[in-house]
Amino acid sequence: MDTIFALASAPGKAGVAVIRLSGPEAHDAVATLCGRVPNARRASLLRLRDGDGTVLDDGLVLTFDDGASFTGERAAELQVHGSMATVRAVLARLGDLPGLRQADPGEFTRRAMENGRLDLAQVEALADLIEAETETQRRQAQRMLDGALGARVELWRADLVRAAALLEAVIDFADEEVPEDVSVEVVALIDKVAAGLDAELAGFGAAERVRTGFEVAIVGAPNVGKSTLLNALAGRQAALTSEIAGTTRDVIEVRLDLGGLAVTVLDTAGLRETDDQVEAMGVSLARERAIGADLRIFLGDDAEGVPARDGDLSYRTKADLTGDPAAISAVTGQGIDRVIDELRRALEDRAAGAGLVTRERHRLALVGGRSALSEASAVVAHGPDLYDVAAEELRVAIRRLESVVGRVDVEAILDDVFSNFCLGK
Amino acid sequence: MKHAHYDVIVVGGGHAGSEAAHAAARMGARTALVTMSRDGIGVMSCNPAIGGLGKGHLVREIDAMDGVMGRVADRAGIQFRLLNRRKGPAVQGPRAQADRALYKAAMLEETDARQNLDVIEGEVVDFLFAGQRAFGVALADGGEVRAHTVVLTTGTFLRGVIHIGDSREVGGRMGDKASVRLAERIDGLNLPLGRLKTGTPPRLNGRTIDWSVLESQPGDPEPELFSFLSEKAEARQIACGITHTNATTHEIIRENLSRSAMYGGHIDGVGPRYCPSIEDKVVRFADKDSHQVFLEPEGLTTDTVYPNGISTSLPADVQAAYIHSIRGLETAEIVQPGYAIEYDYVDPRALDLRLAVSSCENLFFAGQINGTTGYEEAAAQGLVAGLNAAAVALDRDPVIFSRTDSYIGVMIDDLTTRGVAEPYRMFTSRAEFRLSLRADNADQRLTPKAIETGCIGEERRIVFEDKIAKIGSVRESLGALSLTPKEVRAAGIEVAQDGSRRSGLDLLAFQDVRFSDVVLLEPGLSGTEPEIARQVKNDAIYANYIARQMRDVEALRREEGTGIPSDFDFDQLQGLSNELKGKLRAARPENLAQAGRVDGMTPAALTLILSRLRQDSRKRSA
């Protein structure tokens, strides 16, 4: 078996970069580079040398024995300085050693699973955990790991199995005392599951938002204080503000962790008719992004061309100038807590509607099941003469749903799962 | 007494034994069928019927492999009915009432005529073993029969106990003695055993039944036969009668429940849910005050009638009382009381896909001893064990059936991976590829396999190849048609006027388009034989679904192709629960597909096994 290696920390400049090795030659490679193999699980500061004896770097070196590492194999970690050149040089040196090669995407995780260190569910959830930026994302991944979707699928499956059993009874016990027509009951069961699938699929959007982050646009007339609000939300000077209307022309994005939710706040150009060509382009872009956002915060009353939708927020601004107690002021901070609070609650409401379906693979399975159910329903309505075909459609539906958590072509799942992993993780 | 040396010995002459002996002999193996008495060959000990839903499929498949059950049943059939006639061909099942005497006689005649097959009368009391390798059997008269391989098909003889009410008697079927020494020998093999039960109804004297007040159920006007070689029913055809139990019947049964062997606590074995005793029906379906009873004559030359639907283990006097409460049976005479039989079975997970005992060499088990019920299930296992016992003896490749090619494959796989919790009976719903595994195409599915295996007679091969050539040429003509919607409509067939051209096969895929409709568009097909036309139509109906299933079929075949070595150690897999490890050890899956069907299996566990297999193979090749 090959010994694999890869950069395990994020690429780019950093204080420290971690290079991971796994496989039978891992310790020999350390000996070649560092002159000796430190005791397992004891961090040692060693000098790494190139093939001609020149120094590559000084780094912390860790080794792990067979059966006592993340992958379950003999392994090592080289913690070197996070310079792109250093990392490149160390990787090149490792690549020159016999029996060593760069890891394929997800290969470390794959080996961990093959050695019984992780199961498939953990692997999928692990991918999400690695990606998680906020508390809600972490919780969503954890919920997946706990099998919440599996439990839901099991309920659907139970109903469909009952529906199939009714059809099968009519087919397999035709000579005995069973009803000849069970279409009404079967259609009722199918409809119930179909409704559940529809609801879950509708929640896919929100669940996906939890994973990828919500987009919130600040919208309003020029100089109403949009950029000032953005800066107040961000707690820093993210956008240039001035008293001159039309200061913001491009769309400025700030990524926030709002009470555990990942949110991208968009500050857009003030909406107004303008002869300035550049500003006009900014206004048009602002409208487009504002309409496409998950939620809009309207400042003032004038938001030409951007319709408000359910759940959008709206405030009057510049309380410091108008003395309006209900308005907010980004300058004095009046009402900003209220904005944050209401925005968080609005987004939390949406996140709460998040379905359990967070992955495209799962969504496709549900969509496939749903369409088989439509077919089954149509065929069952023809009555007992076509029950053989209806039963087949139900079987397909059950199989599709099972593929979310249950039995399917194992190879296919593996390939799908592992292709979603980044190198070295 | 000294006997010749054989390739294959089959112990038992029931449905599994007969089929096993014939299969081995067809393979060219010198075969001995050892049975207590020639008179026991081909006996139907339960109801006198062959086939039905799922079971009819098995008979057709046995026939497609050139087995005997289908031909014998056609010769003995006195009422043929195709069940589910109105539903799709995939779920239609041929069934026949058989004359017991005719069936037995036909089976004996086939057996005597078979080349390579000797019948030896004698009681087998022990196996001959060299270490773990079986090489023959010892008889009660002190004689021995030696062979390369041994097939055991002894039904319910393992600790069989017959119950009639609270009286009990040790024995297999009524009148047979249970073989104690052989049972002890099987105990010595340390195979996992379980206990099952099954029941029979009282047999009635047909002359004492008032048929005039009963509903009559005739057979189909055009009998649907079992064998692809049979042309017509030979025996005179008769009708069955139908009557019903009533509130009085149920009252009598309820009052005497404590005297029933089953409800009086005398029986521990598990009975089949799908074939409940009348006691069970009355208790479990208390809201129903009537159950159907089919009165099935056991033959043309006997007066005995089998009342199907009221099997029982109540005492004889109670049986008489409830029988007499039923319309038409008021003065019916009971020829033989109903009884329940309890017996040990061998957990079939101890067998491999050839039905060979995994822990021994050259020993095969087939039939009811493996936890199944029904003549057809027994015969199909006999076929598999007989073919493979011969294959071992003749040093040929094993003959393996797959879930993707046959009901036989479904059954063998179910038995050897999942075991049984109740007597195993075939249903069409057990076959996930039901739309392609039809009774009507059993020959297309399996006869090529039979030709390749070399277990087929010349006559069948010629008939089959002729039929395939005809089907092929009709399909070719139909496939070559390319018709506009307008042309199709001109022939009186309604299709969407969507501008797309359709072939004759596309048109036949519509439920309501008949072959004769398509002939209008291709007059060259007007001479097509009805049998060929029907086959082409049946294939076309499901063509789209079968195409869609192909992906699943291929995935399954790939998993079946991923073998798990017999010494694979499930215990070493970290991340598997102990419970699952235990189930895997018991089932000993031979491939990944089987492992996936082990009860309680999860995808995570399956990927773990697959990963370990790949890792092992990488290590071996490295």
Q: Which of B91, B559, B596 has its CB closest to that of A171? A: B91
Binary contact (A117, B90; C-beta < 8 A): no
Q: Is B603 on the interface with A (CB under 8 A)?
A: yes
Chain A partners of B604 at a C-beta cutoff of 8 Å? 119-121
Using a CB-CB cut-off of 8 Å, the residues of chain A touching B574 are: 115-117
**CB-CB neighbours of A124 under 10 Å:** 23
Bridge partners (DSSP) listed for residue B305: B204, B297
Do both B256 and B186 map to the same domain? no
pLDDT at B118: 97
Tokens at B221, concatenated = 């006007």
Mean pLDDT across the stretch B65-70? 98
Instruction: Report whether B413 contacts B53 (CB < 8 A).
Output: no
| Selected residue with higher pLDDT from A145 and A314 | A314
Identify residue A396 by its one-letter amino acid code: V
Of A175, A385, A408, the CB nearest to B87: A385
Structural class in CATH, domain A210-352: alpha beta
Q: How far is A173 from chain B (nearest CA, A)?
A: 8
Q: How would you classify residue B159: left for phi > 0, otherwise alpha for psi between -120 and 50, otherwise beta?
A: left
Give residue B198's pLDDT: 84
Tell which wins on pLDDT, B490 or B59. Answer: B59
Same domain, B151 and B223: no
pLDDT at position A118: 66
**Distance of residue B302 Cα from the nearest chain A Cα, in angstroms:** 25
* CA distance linking residue A39 with residue B385, whole number of Å: 59
Question: Residue B83: its chain A contacts at CB < 8 A?
Answer: 174-175
Residues B100 and B247 in one domain: no
| Interface contact B573, partner A, CB < 8 A | yes
Distance (Å, rounded) from C-alpha B47 to C-alpha B307?
A: 9
The nearest CA of chain A is from the CA of B559 a distance in Å of 8
Searching chain A, which residue's CA lies closest to the CA of residue B612? A114
Residues B11 and B149 in one domain: yes
- Per-residue pLDDT band for A125 (boundaries 50, 70, 90) equals low
CB B196 within 8 A of CB B269: yes
Is residue B202 over pLDDT 90?
yes
Whether complex ipTM tops 0.90: no
Instruction: Tell how strand B93-98 and strand B49-51 pair up.
Output: antiparallel
Least confident of A93-97, A111-115, A330-334, B601-605: B601-605
**In a domain? residue B293:** yes
Q: B126 pairs with which residues across the strands?
A: B138
Domain encompassing residue B544: 462-551
Q: How many helices (H) and strands (E) does chain B have?
A: 19, 20
Give A264-276 as a DSSP string: EEEE-------S-
Judged against a pLDDT cut of 90, whether residue A301 lies above it is answered with: no
Distance CA B303, CA B319 (A): 19
Tokens representing B82 are 């195709």
For residue A174, what pLDDT is reported?
A: 78
Other CB atoms within a 10 A radius of the CB of residue A3 amount to 24
Q: What is the CATH number of the domain that holds B597?
A: 1.10.150.570
pLDDT at position B174: 46
Asked if B443 and B324 sit in the same domain, the reply is: no
Average pLDDT (A13-25) is 91
Question: So what's the pLDDT on residue A143?
Answer: 66
- Look at residue A274 in the predicted model and tell me its pLDDT: 74
SS3 call for B313: coil
Q: Is B511 on the interface with A (CB under 8 A)?
A: yes
Closest Cα in chain A, distance from residue B599 (Å): 12
DSSP E strands, A226-343? 252-258, 261-267, 295-299, 313-315
Contact: B611, A114; criterion CB under 8 Å: yes
When scoring A124, A161, A175, A182 by the number of chain B Cβ atoms within 10 A, the one with the most, hence best to mutate, is: A175
Tell me if A168 and B54 make a contact (CB, 8 A cut-off).
no
Q: Give the three-class secondary structure for B29.
A: coil
A77 pLDDT tier (thresholds 50, 70, 90): very high
Structural domain includes residue B71: yes
Judge contact between B93 and A175, C-beta under 8 A.
no
Domain span(s) for CATH 3.40.50.300 in chain A: 210-352
Gap between the Cα atoms of A267 and A252, Å rounded: 5
Query: A55-64 and A75-81: which strand pairing?
Result: antiparallel
Same domain, B401 and B511: no
Backbone phi, psi, residue B514, to 5°: -95, 165
Say if the Cβ atoms of B608 and A119 lie within 8 Å.
Answer: yes
In chain A, the residue whose alpha carbon lies closest to the alpha carbon of B551 is A409
Query: Which amino acid is present at B109?
Result: E
Domain with CATH 3.30.1360.120 in chain A: 3-117
Mean pLDDT of the region B246-256: 93
Give tens-digit pLDDT for B415-430: 998 888 888 999 888 8
Q: Which fold has domain A3-117?
A: Gyrase A; domain 2 (3.30.1360)
Residue at B557 is within a domain: no
- Collapsing DSSP to helix, strand or coil, B49 comes out as strand
Spatial neighbors of B106 by CB under 8 A, at least 6 apart, are B42, B71, B72, B75, B76
Judge whether B126 lies within some domain: yes
Q: Which two tokens stand for residue B462?
A: 């010629």
Nearest residue to B48 via CA among B13, B83, B100, B95 = B100
- Pick the closest to residue B464 from B535, B407, B401 (CA basis): B535
Decide if B53 and A395 are in contact by the 8 Å CB cutoff: no
* Average pLDDT value for residue range A157-186: 83
Of B373, B374, B371, B342, give the one whose Cα is nearest residue B51.
B374
**CB–CB of B83 and A396 under 8 A?**
no
Q: What is the mean pLDDT of residues A164-181?
A: 80
Q: How confident is the model at residue A332 (pLDDT cuts 50, 70, 90)?
A: confident
End position of a domain, from candidates B423, B453, B483:
B453
CA-nearest residue of chain B to A122? B604
Considering all CA atoms of chain A, what is the largest pairwise distance in Å, rounded to the nearest integer?
88
Q: What's the whole-number average pLDDT of chain A?
A: 81
Q: Are residues B354 and B211 in the same domain?
A: no
Contact A172, B428 (CB under 8 A): yes
- According to CATH, the topology of domain A148-203+358-419 is Four Helix Bundle (Hemerythrin (Met), subunit A) (1.20.120)
Identify the residue whose tokens are 């206004």: A283
Residue B148's Cβ-count burial label (10 Å; 0-12, 13-18, 19+) is: buried
408-447 in chain B: CB under 8 A from chain A: 427-429, 432, 434-435
Is B54 close to A391, i.e. CB distance below 8 A? no
Partner-chain residue, chosen from A171, A177, A407, that has the shortest CB–CB distance to B596: A407
| Residue predicted with more confidence, B582 or B42 | B42
Q: Are residues B207 and B197 in the same domain?
A: no
pLDDT in tens, B283-311: 877 888 889 999 999 999 999 999 998 98
Q: What is the mean pLDDT of residues B461-481?
A: 95
Q: Are residues B21 and B165 in the same domain?
A: yes
Instruction: Answer whether residue B556 is part of any domain.
Output: no
Are A384 and B274 inside 8 Å of each other by CB? no
B597-B598-B604-B607 Cα dihedral, nearest 10 degrees: -70
Q: Where are the beta strands (DSSP E) in B281-418?
A: 292-297, 304-308, 334-336, 340-346, 363-365
Q: How far apart are CA B438 and CA B424, in angstroms?
A: 20
d(CA B268, CA B587): 24
Query: By the 8 A CB rule, do B328 and B213 touch?
Result: yes
Q: Nearest-CA neighbor of B243 among B279, B276, B291, B299?
A: B291
Is the model more confident about B316 or about A207? B316
Interchain contact, B53 vs A173, CB within 8 Å: yes
Question: With pLDDT > 90 as the criterion, what percentage of chain B qualifies?
Answer: 61
State percent of chain A over pLDDT 90. Answer: 24
Whether the pLDDT of residue A416 is over 70: the answer is no
Structure-token pair, residue A9: 């920390």
Question: Which amino acid belongs to residue A361?
Answer: R
Give the Cα separation of B339 and A54 in Å (integer): 93
Same domain, B240 and B314: yes
Predicted local confidence at residue B66, as pLDDT: 97
Q: For B496-555, how does the pLDDT look when each residue is reduced to its tens digit (9 = 90+)?
A: 888 889 999 999 998 889 999 999 888 889 899 999 999 999 999 999 888 888 877 787
Q: What residues are paired with A296 via a beta bridge? A: A217
> For chain B, what percent of residues have pLDDT higher than 70?
94
User: What pLDDT is attached to residue A119?
Assistant: 58
How many CB pairs below 8 Å do chains A and B form together?
A: 112
Tell how many helices (H) and how many strands (E) occur in chain A: 15, 11
In this structure, the number of other CB atoms found within 10 A of the CB of residue B193 comes to 16
Instruction: Specify the residue for token string 């249970």.
Output: B178
**DSSP assignments along B465-531, one per residue:** HHHHHHHHHHHHHHHH--B-HHHHHHTT-----SS--B-HHHHHTSTT--HHHHHTT-GGGTT--HH
Q: Which chain A residues touch B548 with a CB distance below 8 Å?
A: 396
Helix (H, G, I), strand (E, B) or coil at A78: strand
Q: Which residue has the tokens 């399956």?
A: B606
CATH of the domain at B539: 1.10.10.1800
For B:76-135, CB contacts with A below 8 A are 83-84, 86-88, 90-91, 95
Checking if the pLDDT of A419 tops 50, the result is no
Residue B455 CA to residue B25 CA, distance in Å, equals 8
Residue B400: which residues within 8 A CB-CB, separation 6 or more?
B353, B354, B409
In DSSP notation, B162-217 reads EEETTEEEE-SSTTPPP-HHHHHHHHHTT--EEEEEEEBPPEEEGGGS-GGGSEEE
A134, pLDDT greater than 50: yes
pLDDT band at A422 (very low <50, low <70, confident <90, very high): very low
Task: Give dist(CA B530, CA A117) in Å, integer.
Answer: 62
Residue that is last in its domain, among B436, B453, B470 = B453
Asked if the Cβ–Cβ distance from B610 to A414 is below 8 Å, we say yes
Q: Same structural domain for residues B179 and B245?
A: no
Write down the mean pLDDT value for chain B: 89
The chain B residue lying nearest A24, using CA atoms, is B619
Final residue of a structural domain among B310, B340, B370: B340
The residue assigned the tokens 């706990």 is: A146
> Which two three-digit tokens encode residue B380?
């199909």
| CA A126 – CA A366 distance, rounded (Å) | 22
| One domain for residues B219 and B297 | yes
What is the pLDDT, as a whole number, of residue A418? 46
Q: Tell whether B379 is covered by a domain.
A: yes
Mapped onto helix, strand or coil, the DSSP state of residue B151 is strand
Chain B partners of A174 at a C-beta cutoff of 8 Å? 53, 83-84, 87
Q: Which long-range contacts (CB under 8 A, 24 or more apart) does A139-143 make?
A: A139/A260, A140/A207, A140/A210, A140/A211, A140/A354, A140/A358, A143/A356
Question: For chain A, how many residues are written?
Answer: 425
Whether residue B88 and residue A388 make contact (CB cut-off 8 A), yes or no, is yes
